[in-house]
């Protein structure tokens, strides 16, 4: 009950739907810049902080850092931390991604974007479903997102993790879900279509290039 109340309170305060929001948007929270004092200006270059939780493989974390630096120049790796107990959802043995976003946000400097990495199963609220499992969740725009390896294909987990990370980071840069099925910003719609994603479409790429991403 405590988890339900905290999630409901969080959603009431932070989630503001915009014209791009649809019921299938299960890994993005749209919000206005004025909601949080710590939110960055989209006109500014930001630093991407990789914040691993201590349950995720160090090898996977380092791989993400190396790959991100190939397309964005300002990336920092933070020391791993314990996943917060208050985010745990005992009925499903999961962690609430919404709570993880707030935890990450509290420790993020202005003009930084943080991406949390975990191996734990994570979930969010989608429509009438209180506990919808997701691969990742991010504010759009905003400066925190989180990605889990739990639902990724273990045979090519490094590639899928990187694609999921740039998807969630794309949300923080103000990009919603893309109708192009080959774009990294497509909506997963409850599945894992990561292997079908091959590129950023022209429109999504243009937004990221304007913010200093390199392709």
Give the active site residue among 58, 159, 168, 189: 168
> Would you call 159 a catalytic residue per the annotation?
no
Residues 8 and 127: their CA atoms lie apart, in Å, by 12
List C-alpha distances in Å: 150 to 37, 42, 168.
32, 31, 16
DSSP 84-149: PGGGEEGGGTEEEHHHHHHHHHHT--TTEEEEEEESS-EEEEETTEEEEEESEEEEESSSEEEEES
SS3 category, 77: strand
Residue 32 CB coordination number (10 Å): 10
Q: Which active-site residues does the annotation give?
A: 168
């Amino acid at each position: 009950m405590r988890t339900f109340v905290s999630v409901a309170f969080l959603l009431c305060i932070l989630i503001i739907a915009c014209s791009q929001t649809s019921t299938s948007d299960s890994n993005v929270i749209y919000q206005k810049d004025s909601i949080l004092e710590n939110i960055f200006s989209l006109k500014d270059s930001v630093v991407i902080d990789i914040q691993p939780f201590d349950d995720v493989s160090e090898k996977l974390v380092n791989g993400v850092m190396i790959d991100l630096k190939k397309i964005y120049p300002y990336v920092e790796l933070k020391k791993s931390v314990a996943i917060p107990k208050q985010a745990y959802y005992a009925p499903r043995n999961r962690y609430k991604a919404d709570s993880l976003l707030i935890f990450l946000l509290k420790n993020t400097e202005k003009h930084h974007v943080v991406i949390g990495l975990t191996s734990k199963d994570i979930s969010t609220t989608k429509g009438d479903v209180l506990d919808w499992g997701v691969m990742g969740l991010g504010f759009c725009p905003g400066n925190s997102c989180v990605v889990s390896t739990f639902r990724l294909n273990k045979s090519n987990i490094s590639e899928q993790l990187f694609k999921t990370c740039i998807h969630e980071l794309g949300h923080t840069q103000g990009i919603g879900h893309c109708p192009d099925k080959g774009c990294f910003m497509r909506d997963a719609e409850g599945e894992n279509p990561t292997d079908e994603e091959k590129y950023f479409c022209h429109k999504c790429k243009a937004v990221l290039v304007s913010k200093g991403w390199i392709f």
